[in-house]
Each structure stands twice: as C-alpha cells, then as structure tokens.
Amino acid sequence: MIPVGFSYRRASTVDEAVGLLGEYGDEGKLLAGGHSLLPLMKLRLAAPEVLVDIAPLADLRYVRTDGDTVAIGALSRYHDLHHDEVLRQHAPLLAHVAGAIGDPQVRHRGTIGGSLAHADAAADLPAALLASDGVLVAQGPGGRREIPAGEFFLDPFTTALQPDELLVEIRVPGQDGVGWAFEKFTRRSIDWAIVGVAVLGQSVGLINMAGTPIRATRVEEALAGGANPAEAAELAAEGTSPPDEPHASAAYRQHLARVLTGRALERAAGRVPAGL
C-alpha cells in the first residue's frame, strides 16, 4: 500500500524535466498521471529514488490540428481527450479509445504520454496509435526527435525513449472520413483487455497479443490484396504470441483476436466516417 520512500521533484518546464532526468539517471522516474507508476510503487514492484513530476507542464496538454496532422500534447488526460471536439472530429478512434480506458477516476488522471511511455502490451492506446500510424515526439538534451509508432514499442514495458528523454507530443494523420472501430474484450468493464483490436481503415492494431502492442500485418496484407473482412480476420492470430494464463489461454486469445478483428473490420467498414 505504501511505496518505498523517494524524493519528489517538480519540473516547471520541459527543459527542467530533461535536466532533472539527466541529473538522477537511473534513479529518477517521470511522474505524469501516476496511474501506472504509483500502483506499481504501492505494491513495491517499482522503487525509484526520485520522482520528477511533469503533470504541472500544462503547456503539454492540448489537441490541435497542424495541416492534415492532429497533434496531441503528451500530458493530455484521457478524460480531456475523450471529450475534445477537435480530436473527436479528426481522430475519433483515439478519442473513443481514451474513453474506454479504466474508469472515470483513472481517466481524470492518466495521460496519453504516460500510457505510451509505459508501453504495456495490454494497454489500449498503444495499439490504437499503431493502427493510426502515429508518430511520437521525444525531447532530450539534444532537442526533439520523431519516432514512428511502429519503431517505438521495443519489448514489454520498453520503448525507444532514452532515459533522459521526455515524450512531448503525439502526432497522427487526420482520420477524417476513415472508417474505424475498437473492440475491447473484457470480463468486467473495468478490466484491462483480454484481447483488443483497433481498426482504422485497413490498419489493424492488436492489444495483448504479444509482448508489445502489434499490428496484424497479415490481416492488413490480405485486405490490401482484396480479401473481405471475414477472410482477412481469419489471419488475425498469425504470428502472435499472446500470454497463456489460466483464465485466458493463448489459444483462446488467438480465437478472440480472429473474432474481434472480424467484428471490428465489419464495423469500421460500415461506420459513418467521422464522429463518435
């Protein structure tokens, strides 16, 4: 219940945050919404010595369009994203997914940057970002760089971010007029996905089907080759390695991936483009 002791620092600018990360090295951890990090610390599964709170960086909470691109500040909270008119219009998949995470209290705290940086294969936004062909903007001592979502998630809970880098922005191509769907299979609505599928046009992201969020490449290829949704969905489990657990075996998850992908593709195809 009680985390191991640590010292708390607060950053008031991005540069200050980067500086503090450099200063503390491995001992320091960024704290955004705190809804992945603090639960881990309370169970003593993580014990950083220093927390660098970046939640006060209000200038990293925004959604705006930049030509055909939608730019989202990394510290934007799920609740705000779910209700953001710009996002609902131009990237409805992400706006919808943000509203499907956890519960209202979690959505009042959790941030898109925190979710992506945490890189849990069971999380919802990473797969949605993959399907959205998103780009992550990181800032470090050397300035900013862009990382395509497809190159960001390296291993379970491991990303392409450097220890002294901060995620500052997420960019996705505008989704106006593109069909989308999100299927999250859970036992209870509060639960994390047993399996989830995010579809945008003919792109398919899978939740909890490997150690990282992945794209259902075989499905996408089949669709590109002219297969119908039902045929393509049959390939959803190809190349996946989902967790094998008593309440949800790997085989069951692979079955679910096929069923849910089929449903998501059908729904995306039929969805009136734009809007929730």
Partner 1 sequence: MSVMGTRVVRIEDHKLITSGGSYVDDLREPELTGAVHAMFVRSPIAHARIGSIDVSAAREAPGVVGVFTADDLDIAFAPGPTGEPWLARDRVRYVGEPVALVLTEHPYQLADVAELVDIDYDPLDAVIDLDDALSGRTLLFDGTDSNVAGGKAKPFDEKLFDDCEVVVTRTITNQRVAPAPLEVRGAACAWGEDGRLTMWLSTQNAQIARDILAGGLGVDPGTVRVIAPDVGGGFGAKIGADPEAVVLGWASRRVGRPVRWFETRSENLTAMTHGRGQRHTVTIGGRRDGTVLAYRLEVVQDAGAYPRAGAGMLPGFTRLMAPGVYRIPRVEVATRSVLTNTTPIAAYRGAGRPEATAAIERAMDLFAAEIGMDPAEVRRINFIRPEEFPYTTPSGASYDTGEYAKALDAVLSAGGYAELRAEQARRREAGDVVVLGLGIAAYVEITAGDGMGESGRVDVNPDGTVTAYTGSSPHGQGLHTSLAMLLSDQFGVPMDKITIRHGDTDEVPKAVGTFASRSLQLGGSVLKQAGDQVIERAKEIAANLLEASPDDVELNVDQGAWQVRGAPSGGTVTWAQVAAAAGEDGLSADVWYGDVQPTFPFGAHLAVVEVDTLTGKAVLRRIIAVDDAGPVVNPVTFQGQRHGGLAQGVAQALLEEMSYDADGNPTTATLADYPFITATELPDFELVDMATPTTRNPLGVKGIGEAATIGSTPAVQNAVVDALAHLGVRHIEMPATPQRVWQAINDAREGR
Partner 2 sequence: MKVTIEVNGRSTVEEVEDRTLLVHYLRDTLGLTATNVGCDTTSCGACTVLLDGESVKSCTVLAAQADGHRVTTVEGLTGEGGELHPVQRAFSNQHGLQCGFCTPGMIMASVSILAENPKPTRQEVREALEGNLCRCTGYHNIVSAVMEASGQEVDG
Beta strands (DSSP E) in 85-201 are 135-140, 143-148, 153-155, 158-159, 166-173, 180-185, 195-200
Nearer to partner 1 by Cβ, of 77 and 258: the residue is 258
Structure tokens at 33: 């919404």
Q: Which of 67, 177, 247, 272 binds partner 1 (CB under 8 A)?
A: 247
* From 2-10, 31-39, 224-232, 260-268, span contacting ligand FAD (CB under 6 A): 31-39
Task: Identify the residue among 90, 118, 171, 258 touching ligand FAD (CB under 6 A).
Answer: 118
Buried b (16+ CB within 10 A) or exposed e, 34-43: bbbbeebbee
Nearest distance from C-beta of residue 47 to ligand FAD, angstroms: 13
Rounded CA-CA distance 48/125 in Å is 25
Taking the least distance from each CB to partner 1, the nearer of 43 and 276 is 43
Could you give the string, one character per residue 30-69, with x where binding to partner 1 holds by CB under 8 A and - elsewhere?
A: ---------x---xx-------------------------
Please provide the DSSP assignment of 138-149 as one string. EEETTEEEEEEG
Q: How far is 77 from 138, CA to CA, in rounded Å?
A: 18
Distance, CA of 152 to CA of 141 (rounded, Å): 19
Considering only residues 121 to 150 of the shown chain, the ones binding ligand FAD according to CB under 6 A are: 123-125
Q: Least separation, in Å, of the C-beta of 226 and ligand FAD? A: 33
CA dihedral of residues 173, 179, 184, 189 (deg, nearest 10): 100
Q: Which of 167, 194, 214, 268 binds partner 1 (CB under 8 A)?
A: 194
252 binds, among ligand FAD, partner 2, partner 1, none (CB under 5 to 8 A by kind): partner 1
Q: According to CB under 8 A, which one of 140, 252, 266, 274 is a site residue for partner 1?
A: 252
Judged by CB under 8 A, the stretch of 2-10, 22-30, 156-164, 167-175 that binds partner 1 is 2-10
Report if residue 192 touches ligand FAD, rule: CB under 6 A: yes
The answer to whether the CB of 166 falls within 8 A of the CB of 87 is no
CA distances to 2, 117, 123 from 44, in Å: 8, 20, 21
Within its chain, how far is the Cα of 100 from the centroid? 12
Distances (CA, A) of 110 to 32, 77, 171, 229: 7, 5, 18, 34
* Distance of alpha carbon 153 from alpha carbon 205, whole angstroms: 13
Contacting positions for partner 2 (CB under 8 A): 1-8, 10, 31, 34-35, 38-39, 42-43, 51, 53, 55, 79, 102-106, 108-109, 188-190
113 sits near ligand FAD (criterion: CB under 6 A): yes
Site residues (CB under 6 A) for ligand FAD?
Answer: 29-37, 39, 74, 101-102, 106, 109-111, 113-115, 117-118, 123-125, 161, 166-167, 192
